[in-house]
């Protein structure tokens, strides 16, 4: 795995974490809205266990999402650990903004008070450092 592929996992993890948080909000909102569910005969009678059934499904889904969330956080933490091994604070910040925060190149350039071409050069320099770090980790 290249340095860039390794770091790209951080952007994906951040996107997935945000999506999971949104899904959990939706599930909780749905649980609050469950007031009357009709039984399978369509008679319109209220199913006294319907709310418990829906809440049980939501809890099961939340557990699955929580496991995935924790795995994504673990991946993100591994990436952050490698990024923190870059001693240059500008390169470190660039990597965090790009691969953890998911910022676009022009936003990173603006934040670092640089032009985009310079940011690309710094990025290449940072990738070389990350590549060395990953090689050392694999050899250990």
* DSSP 8-state symbol, 49: T
Token pair 């690309």 is at which residue? Answer: 120
pLDDT of residue 101: 86
Averaged pLDDT for residues 116-132: 96
CB 50 within 8 A of CB 37: yes
Q: Which of 30-34, 89-93, 99-103 has the highest mean pLDDT?
A: 89-93
DSSP string, 4-35: HHHHHHHHHHHHHHHHHHHHHHHHHHHHHH--
The C-alpha atoms of residue 127 and residue 121 are separated, in whole angstroms, by: 10
- What tens digit of pLDDT does each residue of 40-95 get? 555 555 566 667 777 787 788 788 888 888 888 898 899 999 999 999 999 999 99
User: Any idea what DSSP says for residue 46?
Assistant: B
pTM here is: 0.68
Q: Give φ, ψ of 25 to 5 degrees.
A: -60, -45
């Amino acid at each position: 795995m290249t340095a860039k592929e390794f770091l790209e996992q951080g952007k994906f993890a951040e996107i997935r974490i945000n999506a999971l948080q949104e899904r959990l909000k939706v599930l909780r909102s749905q649980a609050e809205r469950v007031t009357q569910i009709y039984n399978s005969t369509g008679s319109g009678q209220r199913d006294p266990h319907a709310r418990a059934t829906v809440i049980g499904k939501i809890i099961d889904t939340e557990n699955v999402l929580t496991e995935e969330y924790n795995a994504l956080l673990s991946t993100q933490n591994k990436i952050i650990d490698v990024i923190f091994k870059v001693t240059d604070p500008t390169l470190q910040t660039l990597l965090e903004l790009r691969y953890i925060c998911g910022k676009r190149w022009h936003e990173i350039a603006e934040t670092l008070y640089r032009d985009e071409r310079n940011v690309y050069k710094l990025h290449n320099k940072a990738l070389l450092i990350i590549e060395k770090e990953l090689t050392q980790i694999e050899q250990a």
